[in-house]
Amino acid sequence: MIHIKRKVILHGPSTLTVSLPSKWVKNNNVMKGDELNVDDEGNVLTVYLGEEHLLTKKTKVDFSDTNWGAIHSIMSMLHKTGYDEIEIVFKNPETVKIVQERINSMLMGYEIIEQKGNICIVKAVSGDHPSELNVLIRRTFLVSLSLAKNSLEEIKKGRKDNLKELLILEKTNNKLTNYCQRLLNKKPYKDDKTIYTYLIVWLLESICDDYRDIITIILNKPTYKISPAVQDTYFQINDLFEKYYHFFYNYSDKELLKMRSSIKSLKQKLLETKFNSSEKPLYSYLFSIINRIFDCLGSTVGMHH
């Protein structure tokens, strides 16, 4: 961060102005008539660019000797980091199919726009609008809660085909969380609370991963039933998750204390719940969900203090 002093200039009888640093104006292509955002925080004014000034980020990667898993991971990271154009070098034509597969499954807004020889170009074609972030985060919550509630319902009824269909919600969660992280990284101005929002989005993805793994364990067994005691614990964990959702949008210090108390009680209940041999693989994932919700609390406090 560079600190710059500016003198206040009086224009007319009552209008006070300060000039913008010329280097900042040039680097950000600010022109006469452009609108800038100004946040008034008591004795601090923060001036930052609007969405129309989002800069195009470009990069080049070489996938000549990169396997399927690494390509998936790298493409996801480039997307969420905020790159708008990626030049990809490859040897095996299958690489392009792998990239397209990753785009289709997770990378909202990306398209392969050109392929020539051993190079293809991926570009963000739909435009990014940080103003959509709040809507997308709420949608992420709702998709995650739907997976949590419906998975228990289908497990109780033993409907494995329906349970398998629910895995599409985890993929939707991946798309949403990756795009939310992209928008957070692309914000023209990142305040102190951006990192807390980023962490919560990451934890929502991880919670959905835990539910996905629970479903996968059950689907991989020919027959599977869970005891009423484990079902009840599963239900209470889902209920805790929903309470956190409401807490996120209606924060209060009083509710924070209630959430912490609920988590402590639920951890104890999980420790006391008897899992039979076939249920034991679920234990670590259920405990993980509780811990991730607890981890969300700290970031939620940071957003409001």
In 55-93, alpha helices (H) = 68-81
Record the tokens describing residue 62, joined without a space: 């070489």
Q: What is the pLDDT of residue 189?
A: 65
**% helix / strand / coil in the chain, to the nearest 5?**
60, 15, 25
Residue-wise pLDDT tens digits, 259-289: 999 999 999 999 999 999 999 999 999 999 9
Over residues 39-59, mean pLDDT = 74
C-alpha span between 102 and 73 (Å, rounded): 9
Place of tokens 């988590």: 263
Residue-wise pLDDT tens digits, 162-201: 999 999 999 999 999 999 999 999 876 667 789 999 999 9
Question: Which residue in 104, 245, 226 sits closest to 157, CA to CA?
Answer: 226
Place of tokens 């034991």: 280
For a pLDDT cut of 90, what percent of the chain falls above it?
73
Report the DSSP beta bridge partners of residue 116.
Answer: 119
pLDDT at 53 over 60: no
Over residues 208-221, mean pLDDT = 96
* Angle 199-203-206 from CA coordinates, rounded to 5°: 145
Record the tokens describing residue 293, joined without a space: 């919700």
Residue-wise pLDDT tens digits, 98-152: 999 999 999 999 999 999 999 999 999 988 888 899 999 999 999 999 999 999 9
Q: What is the pLDDT of residue 80?
A: 96
**Residues present in the chain in total:** 305
- Amino acid identity at 147: L
